[in-house]
Chains A and B, each alone.
Chain A
């Protein structure tokens, strides 16, 4: 791992790549110039060869996504490139670092992509809380404002969000970008056909786009040799939780979860033991401590019933109560649910209510099974993945730590205030907006 030359974050340790001059000094924007001389189709091909898959969480083949954009004779509307910089998945903060440290590489990626999908308007939807990265990006764009050799005929608009996790879902993002409440749309139609302003739109993650210039520079084939089959290349993994060295680290697919936690992350501090790992942000199925000898790649994690998601690895040590974890995670989804579809809107709150009752030691085993049944009833019924991943995540805590849940039935929480998640105040219990609804705990 120490030998791996970073690709997305390459050069950022040695130079201040937020500055245009520094970025150009290492060849920045020359790939763009070359790409502009190539046919859009050629760039799409190169991306297909590279095997790059979306780094936002869905892991959809990037080249393939771009190829869905219709030809002008099929659809006369203008094309749009929309960047999903709404990173809000608990455990994931890689885009934060990418925007803050290699904004120009990211911008170059956007411009190359715009050329490849024949879009002239680029919208960067940055989550509202990311004031720091927004300012860095804004300054970087200011630096190239007069550089028509870089911008060409493209326009880049940075559009700040205002605090809603659901706007990370691509169609909800588009709704928000169109000035409305950020509620997801039914698909089909897919954004490639009818996205922003009912026009063909490509929505890509920050990291995905920041990977584009390096891919074209080294060549798709070379990139595909990194990583493993079906999960080529490198990615920036976020490490957090009970770890010595939390942070963002660029690694190649194929590293194991154990290596990530102990070698890269430095292991569990305070002499404690690892209890569980959330492998890809809170929307992923949890793994127990004995399940971490798995390769960090799409297929391997799918085989053990979980996913890489947005590559946010959270290490949890043995102080933590799993029921409390369930509560906190359920509260997150309850707070962030957009309210459009019934199972998520009602189900996430119901899940939280049941978990709280379990934590208080007031539930029965029937109610524990009811919780699982409710999770099952949410799964596969929702308009978008929010409700479903909430249900799957919580169900996995029960599944992997059932004994702990059972222990709560008999005598309440065995961890109590030793657990760092004990009585953690969550926004949903705070009612910041008009508290017209009286929601009993």
Chain B
């Protein structure tokens, strides 16, 4: 695409006698839709790449061409005359024929098929297909259904070989795991050797599949489309904030679907966002408040009593209160807590797992801008797919569109790369790692590289929490007052499960006299908290999140939680401290938005697909860093045989919610240590070898995974497998090499 902006040329054409005017090159299917006409499709899906014209469902007649054409492969041209099945007997026969051929070996599964009622094959057969079958031979059969993973079931008999799923695997997620095998009528969809389809975006094939061939095992037999409700909301598990629909039936969430915000998620979801909802029904979910009773562990108490206890704890703390926030509270919740504690008690001190900053607002753009980039630079030592999975898909799309993608681990660009960036149009910078100052470091870099002035350029910082920035802003806005770190801490308030699971928060709790925890699950803070108030999930709250673009998006309560919404009891507590706080999130939002944005907003202003606020002017972030940024890799002179810097990372499939979903355990990271090729070769280690990883008297046996995408001098281990290892580790081979050829790069 050219850098300049020009109005697209409009062309006029006729479809079924209707004249329509669209930009030249618009797909014919979309053009027909503009004219209010349907060209039915199966294999056509623009997000999967150029149309392939495989299924032949979209056959239309084009004047001047004797043979029927696959409409999905055509684009709007001036003076084109098209007749669809509605206006052409020939096209109607063609579409009828396509459906007849699809149905020839399609099993009569509708009564037991989950897709029934929301099935394009059913719908199109009713609209364009034959009413009876002429097929008298036995249909071809397969063993079915086959679990291609714990979350996805494959029914090969139902498959119509539209290749949407394989094209997704190859061309979008680029995992290359779901493929077609054999040829012709023997073709089938499969993974390699019955290995599970283990990839972060696998679940999208369920939504892509136009029949009941790829279905969700979690949703199997859970309900019919006329028995359910789809509640629009936002996923709260990572800072992207994908737009979702929660399918509910009889008061329970049964599945999550994409709601498609073209600028944010393009209709994709990661498997964490899609399959984690069962955490709502975890066996260790807390329904009633709990308090610590000496020598008897924990006992349940009523809400009134619990609020009394909470009031006691708060009053008794003498203002020496620290609040540990998760960064997954809603804006309203964080604001409510802030008002209660800061206005009501003068307890201003709060901790968040990460720094936040507004500096990147000057480089704001929708995530979809990444796809049109000429040059993408990803800075940092954490994988984008672990922090903000959908951003990884956008970057892959950029590369497929011809963008150059550079990955640098150091938070600075070398001369050559910097020159390249300056010479490129449409530059996107992505910070994925630590020490980013919430985006402040990236903003400084982007400013220095002159990105404000470049068309189509932007910078994104990938936070570690879903709503950290929003939470910090809401907390800050809730009162004026200096933050003082009380010493010693009398009361630690632990807000949310991520905080409860954080070892750093646990360490704080050891120092505190009392702990009040707001948590969903028994397994987290219950062992060390004095008062536990049951928490809710993002699926159970009305409220707002601010995503990594700076977009404010609205969450909806999709099901009624087993315990009151946090805002409800915070408001009641606040009352006791003479702080005015509405229990209704919409009211709180109006109040908060007035403080943050200078005007009171309503949820309606956000709409169903929230807009992106405009950029603000660049302001150098305060305060400027005084300490130099620590290098991420061990410089060569310090490097001696045996010593690698340990990097603990948080994989995508981790966290209290994911841990409680049995079907997702197969996506959890194996007990592995990732090594760079250079370091592995020097130690004669190949992928698959068992190696010992030692430091400070602590030693672990882990499987080695040699990778090309990490720098020498670094060993990466998932947080949950890193045990007590220190900052520097010694890695050595323990067993015989697994492959005689000795080459084991992943």
Contacts and interface: CB of A to CB of B under 8 A. Distances in A.
B632 interface: no
Choose among A164, A334, A335, A436 the residue with the greatest number of B CB atoms under 10 Å from its CB.
Answer: A436
Interface string A183-214: 00110000000000000000000000000000
B98 A381 contact: yes
Contact of A346 (B53, B141, B185): B185
Interface stretch (A246-254, A291-299, A336-344): A336-344
B90 to A, nearest CB: 9
B449 interface: no
B420 interface: no
A382 B97 CA distance: 11
Contacts of A164: 183
Nearest to B59: A381
Contact of B183 (A337, A381, A436, A439): A337
A383 B161 contact: no
Given A343-B98, A436-B142, A440-B137, A338 B182 contact: no
A438 interface: yes
A348 interface: yes
Interface in B33-63: 51-57, 59
Contacts of B448: none
A186 B73 contact: yes
A383 B101 CA distance: 14
Contact of A438 (B59, B94, B142, B187): B142
Contact of B185 (A357, A367, A383, A439): A439
A219 interface: no
Contacts of A148: none
Interface string A383-395: 1000000000000
A101 interface: no
Contact of B56 (A342, A433, A437): A342
B97 A348 contact: no
A158 B332 CA distance: 68
Interface in A342-363: 342-343, 345-350, 353, 357
A19 interface: no
B102 A346 contact: yes
B59 A340 contact: no
Contact of B186 (A186, A378, A437): A437
Interface residues of A, number: 38
A381 B140 contact: no
A438 B181 CA distance: 15
Given A339-B187, A381-B68, A433-B182, A346 B104 contact: yes
Given A181-B180, A186-B51, A349-B185, A342 B98 contact: yes
B97 A341 contact: no
Contacts of A438: 140-142
B67 interface: yes
A345 to B, nearest CB: 5
B656 to A, nearest CB: 40
A303 interface: no
B142 A437 contact: yes
Contact of A440 (B100, B101, B140, B180): B140
B184 interface: yes
Interface in A371-415: 377-378, 380-383
Given A337-B184, A439-B186, A346 B142 contact: no
B682 interface: no
Nearest to B105: A346
A381 B97 contact: yes
A218 B143 CA distance: 64
A377 B101 contact: yes
A339 B183 contact: yes
B295 interface: no
Given A342-B102, A383-B53, A433-B186, A353 B140 contact: no
Contacts of A337: 183-185
Contacts of A383: 53-54, 56, 70
Interface string A150-169: 00000000000000100000
A334 B134 contact: no
Interface in B367-421: none
Interface string B149-166: 000000010001101000
B184 A334 contact: yes
Nearest to B137: A353
A439 B185 CA distance: 9
B188 interface: yes
B635 interface: no
A181 B180 CA distance: 9
Interface in B126-178: 134-138, 140-143, 156, 160-161, 163
Nearest to B98: A342
B4 to A, nearest CB: 20
A434 interface: yes
Contacts of A186: 51-53, 70, 73
B97 A440 contact: no
A334 B140 CA distance: 14
A424 interface: no
A49 B184 CA distance: 41
A339 B56 contact: no
B143 to A, nearest CB: 8
A378 B70 CA distance: 14
A1 interface: no
Nearest to B143: A436
A30 B54 CA distance: 47
B26 to A, nearest CB: 16
A131 interface: no
Nearest to B67: A380
Interface in A15-59: none
A370 interface: yes
Contacts of B51: 186
A432 to B, nearest CB: 10
Nearest to A370: B134
Interface in A322-344: 334-343
Given A345-B161, A350-B135, A440-B137, A434 B182 contact: yes
A27 to B, nearest CB: 45
Nearest to B157: A437
Contacts of B161: 339-340, 342, 345
Contacts of B140: 437-440
Interface string B64-87: 000110100100000000000000
B109 to A, nearest CB: 17
Nearest to A440: B138
Contact of A434 (B55, B98, B180, B181): B181
A19 B161 CA distance: 49
B69 to A, nearest CB: 10
Contact of B55 (A185, A342, A378): A342
A440 to B, nearest CB: 4
Contacts of B73: 186
Nearest to A343: B101
Contacts of B156: 436-437
B182 A348 contact: no
Contacts of A357: 137
B735 to A, nearest CB: 34
Contacts of A341: 53-56
B182 to A, nearest CB: 5
A53 to B, nearest CB: 21
Given A186-B52, A437-B142, A336 B184 contact: yes
Contact of A345 (B53, B57, B67, B184): B184
Given A377-B93, A381-B94, A438-B142, 12 more contacts: A338-B183, A340-B163, A342-B54, A346-B101, A350-B135, A357-B137, A367-B136, A383-B53, A383-B56, A437-B182, A439-B140, A440-B137
4 A-B pairs closest in CB distance: A337-B184, A339-B187, A186-B53, A377-B97
21 contacts: A181-B180, A186-B73, A335-B184, A336-B183, A337-B184, A338-B183, A340-B163, A342-B54, A342-B98, A342-B161, A345-B161, A345-B185, A346-B102, A348-B185, A350-B135, A353-B137, A367-B136, A437-B142, A437-B185, A438-B140, A440-B140
